[in-house]
Amino acid sequence: MSEYAIKVSNLTKTYKLYESNKRRIIEGLFPKAKPHYQEFHALKDVSFNIKKGEIVGIIGKNGSGKSTLLKIITGVLNSTSGSLDVNGRISALLELGAGFNPEYTGIENIYLNGTLNKMTREETSRRIDDIADFADIGDFIYQPVKNYSSGMFVRLAFAVAVYSNPDILIVDEALAVGDAAFQAKCMARMNQIMKSGATVLFVTHDMNTVKRLCQRCIYLENGMKIMEGSAEELADIYLKKIRASMNDEHLKLEENRNDKVDTIKECSISKKDNEIYKNKQFIERTKMFKEGTGEIEFIDLKLLNEKGNETFSFSFNQNMRICIRLKVNTENMFTIAYHIRDDKNMELLGNSVLRELDTMIQGEKGDIFEINFVTPLPLIEGNYNITLVASKPVIENRTALFLSLIDNAGVFAVEENLENKLWDKVYLKNEVTYRKISV
């Protein structure tokens, strides 16, 4: 028996793009006539293997070929060339409700989809109650689905998909299913499937989800596989490319943009172009992680304890002062932010000047600034790193132009809380009450 659930070899999907329908008809009528079309490769020579039980992310920008790849794996599309070997029953959460007959009742469609998923009638009958309970649409399950609301239809379709006992689960995480409560139930069910040993392909633009759920990643771009490897590593590479792309777009708009925001200059150090404020070791150590336009340059980072001493080890919930120094290379208005990540590069805590002071920093060329954030560390014991960001908002609270960004600008550790063991990544103080309501 093969150790692989999916084997893809030199998979290619090519579409013919005609100038007009007339050209398409002419070629159909006269196959020997000179072709008048351009070839578009939605996929080109894509190869990879996925072992049974693996959870693999498929990442890439819109138009990279992710949907085409998944449709070929699920049998919705045929490839132009190459080979595909799938070992196991597939359940795909891509186009919910595909294969439903609107004239059939919910119950009849459950059996219909069971047949399409290669389940026997007996298997489907054993799962009817679970599917009905999960969909939670009441007696409507006995009515034709053409009478369903869109929400009821999606709930039933999702329930059928996740209770087909798949060996391979394909999930498009961008799919919005029902209300918040139902989405939480969907995620819980998908987690059960993952823990059962099923092979999972997870398609998403959320790199935190990739880092949290996936072991490996396959990175597609323009229909080709450009990388394959560790989920954490590829997620960071993808984010770096996305940030660079965003900066290119924002820079084109920057000349026509005229920000109207309050500014501050009080924290500016008066001497300009003064080398004594630069930490050459910090600059050398972080140069390989730098991104952005370069209009702002981070020149030092110190992590200080409550006594003002530089350290790399902090007690649980102790205050840490993040002391950041930067140089302004081009006259600018900007904000400074930090993000604290765990050893899986999951973002946990962070803040910015703009959020806390509701203002931007105004800098002239050559200015040196020192920014201090003081934050408690309500974190479980472990190792953490800090990302520094200098940016200017382009769309408020949505996207920004990155003037400078350094991943892994600093590292530190949080010691174990010996008084009260933590089991969650982040602790937030709760208000708790209780009372006896019966004897």
pLDDT in tens, 4-55: 999 999 999 998 877 767 666 666 666 666 666 678 889 999 999 999 989 9
pLDDT at 111 over 80: yes
241-to-114, 236, 260, 402 alpha-carbon distances in Å: 42, 9, 29, 12
Average pLDDT of span 183-187: 74
pLDDT in tens, 260-289: 444 444 455 444 456 778 899 999 888 888
CA separation for the pair 251, 314 (Å, rounded): 40
pLDDT in tens, 349-383: 999 999 999 999 999 999 999 999 999 999 999 88
CA separation for the pair 197, 175 (Å, rounded): 23
Enclosing H/E stretch for 354? helix 353-357
Check if the beta carbon of residue 269 is closer than 8 Å to that of residue 277. yes
Indicate yes or no: pTM above 0.85: no
What's the pLDDT score for residue 108?
Answer: 92
What's the pLDDT score for residue 89?
Answer: 84
CA separation for the pair 347, 267 (Å, rounded): 28
